[in-house]
Structure 1
Amino acid sequence: MSSGPPASDSRTLKRALADLSAGARQRELWGHLAWQDIKQRYRRSVLGPLWITLSMGITALGLGLLYSQLFDAEIGTFLPYITTGFIVWNFILGCLTEGTDTFISNEGLIKHLPAPLSVYVLRTVWRQSIMFAHNMIIYFIVIAIFWGSVTTPDYSITEGGMPQPGLNWGVLLAIPAFALIAVNAGWVVLLFGIASTRFRDIPQVVTSLINLLFFMTPIVWSTDILRDKFGESVGWRDLVAELNPLYHFIQLLRAPLIGNEQSWHHWAIVGAFTVVGWLLALLVLRNYRARVSYWV
């Protein structure tokens, strides 16, 4: 007997795109499922989803106070920097870790509900977006407290660091920046989700690399620290940040939120990842879409 779908099963780009289109049209379904996920997670909790925000606030405050002293940075500019970095990081982290489990955790629905695979991808991305919105409460509180520091022209994250323009109308760039990151989250969840159904080691590999990725990414430290320690010409040390894709994703959204100078090379690099990532995801969806229900 055959262990998989017939060879004639639709391995065409048209069917893969149709899956994405059909999933997008079923926004009531994936929107409801995502909200139910959050309600279920905090069932019988007094604060409910606000525990997400409280946990984020405590972590950002604790590490902000610690690292501002270690790096001799002003708390008024460093705490907004680290808080915003944490918020963006947690969105990316959630899409990575929960994305690998997207189809595995939806095994029952996949086998019994005739829905496009993209419904489960959108469910994961939308759930993470809701959690991101909750965490943004912390951002507004921190910005309100340190408004004078982050709106001062030519302020710096650390002492002697690169002067920043300060918070202004450029903050509106955060809207398209988040939209672009969310679009990338789609291909990450789709690609890693399908791969994880076939190779069950992938979620463990991703989880084991999370701590390394966190400390290698400028979240609790700034690139100004490298320049301060090694001078303007930091050589290979500068590549620690520039060759890290997560740095560009985080800085894309963090920079406008705290009034940092927005470099357009971040947009170019993230844009390139968007195109390449979706091409790979569509290729995998085209070839293995019908096999997911057999693999989960």
Structure 2
Amino acid sequence: MSYHDAVWDVTEALANFHLAALLGWQDVAQRYRRSRIGAFWLTINMGVLIGALGLVFGTIFNSPMNEFLPFICVGLIFWGYYTQIVSEGCSGFISSSDTILQLDIPFFTYILRVWYRNTVILAHNLVIFPIVLLIFWKSIGFSALLAVPGFALVTLNMTWIALMLAILCTRYRDLIQIVQNIMQVMMYVTPIMWMPEHLPERASHAMLDYNPFFHLISVIRNPLLGQSVTATSWIACACLAVAGWSLTLLLLRKYRARIAYWL
């Protein structure tokens, strides 16, 4: 199979994005059918989690609550978003095996489906952030607009990660558990429930600079908190996207014809 076939799969899925959006929206609607609150149940659960962990870890680290709670709020919301895309990406092809075996749809459509439904849930959870800001009478400036290109970079990275994992996990099913364990560990070594300044200077270099998820969080969280994003984080996310997509397209080119046989 040529490299062109892999590129065609991705571009065709993007050209027919409405199909992935429709499937993703149906997933959300079906999950919360007969529920009056719907997806906002997840928002309520996330709000309770943010409040509880914010109070506990803010007290442990002796951090001012007006700084720590908005920090952990954005961190937990987007970490949950990343975790769900990675986790559901692993089974992106497996969970859609019936459709894949019957219809000739670009494989990347199923990844866009995962991305879309989790982005809808993210939009619900983001309602919590302005509420937290109102509680502490904090405001955000025009620098928050930098979160938009930050989210674009995050989307580029999360989609190739999900596509790569979908291919590998379809072939090696045990990899799903390994990835889930890795994500659990990464949550504790990424500044989600603790702030970068809580680390000693020697440890912060290794745990932050070489942690891709730190950069993926920073390009969105820092603008929303009125903080600047370092050039290192922008460059790291951009390079990660280019390298990741190059490798993933090679993987898709090599194994695209075999995915259906692995299901």
In 2, Cα distance between the equivalents of 1:255 and 1:219? Answer: 12
- 8 Å CA contact 2:112–2:159 kept in 1: the answer is yes
Pick the aligned partner of 2:46 from 24, 46, 56.
Answer: 56
String of CA shifts for 1:158-187, please: whole Å, max 9, x gaps: xxxxxxxxx321100011111110111110
RMSD: 1.2
- 8 Å CA contact 2:58–2:65 kept in 1: the answer is yes
1:162 match: none
Please say if 1:189 is aligned against 2:162.
Answer: yes
1:74 match: 64
2:254 match: 287
In 1, Cα distance between the equivalents of 2:10 and 2:120? Answer: 21
* Alpha-carbon distance, 1:46 to partner: 2.3
Pick the aligned partner of 1:176 from 119, 137, 149.
Answer: 149
In 2, Cα distance between the equivalents of 1:194 and 1:211? Answer: 21
Tell me, what secondary structure is at the counterpart of 2:35?
A: coil
Pick the aligned partner of 1:276 from 243, 247, 263.
Answer: 243
Larger Rg: 1
* Alpha-carbon distance, 1:139 to partner: 1.0
* Alpha-carbon distance, 1:27 to partner: 1.7
Tell me, what secondary structure is at the counterpart of 1:104?
A: coil
* Alpha-carbon distance, 1:209 to partner: 2.2
* Alpha-carbon distance, 1:261 to partner: 2.4
Tell me, what secondary structure is at the counterpart of 2:242?
A: helix
In 2, Cα distance between the equivalents of 1:18 and 1:211? Answer: 34
* Alpha-carbon distance, 1:237 to partner: 4.5
2:85 match: 95
* Alpha-carbon distance, 1:56 to partner: 0.9
2:234 match: 267
* Alpha-carbon distance, 1:236 to partner: 4.1
In 2, Cα distance between the equivalents of 1:128 and 1:13? Answer: 29
- 8 Å CA contact 2:160–2:245 kept in 1: the answer is yes
Letter in 1 for 2:252: L
Aligned length: 263
Structure with higher helix content: 2
- 8 Å CA contact 2:164–2:248 kept in 1: the answer is yes
Tell me, what secondary structure is at the counterpart of 1:105?
A: coil
Please say if 1:258 is aligned against 2:248.
Answer: no
Letter in 2 for 1:126: Y
In 2, Cα distance between the equivalents of 1:42 and 1:115? Answer: 26
In 1, Cα distance between the equivalents of 2:205 and 2:108? Answer: 38
* Alpha-carbon distance, 1:206 to partner: 1.1
In 1, Cα distance between the equivalents of 2:198 and 2:56? Answer: 15
In 2, Cα distance between the equivalents of 1:279 and 1:91? Answer: 24
1:213 match: 186
Please say if 1:44 is aligned against 2:11.
Answer: no
In 2, Cα distance between the equivalents of 1:210 and 1:119? Answer: 24
1:239 match: 206
String of CA shifts for 1:92-143, please: whole Å, max 9, x gaps: 1111111101000000000011111111011111111111111110112112
1:33 match: 23
TM-score of the superposed pair, with normalisation by structure 2 = 0.97
Please say if 1:136 is aligned against 2:126.
Answer: yes
In 1, Cα distance between the equivalents of 2:41 and 2:13? Answer: 30
Letter in 1 for 2:185: L
Gapped runs of 5+ residues in structure 1? 1-10, 152-166
String of CA shifts for 1:253-280, please: whole Å, max 9, x gaps: 1000111222121000011110110011
In 2, Cα distance between the equivalents of 1:245 and 1:269? Answer: 7
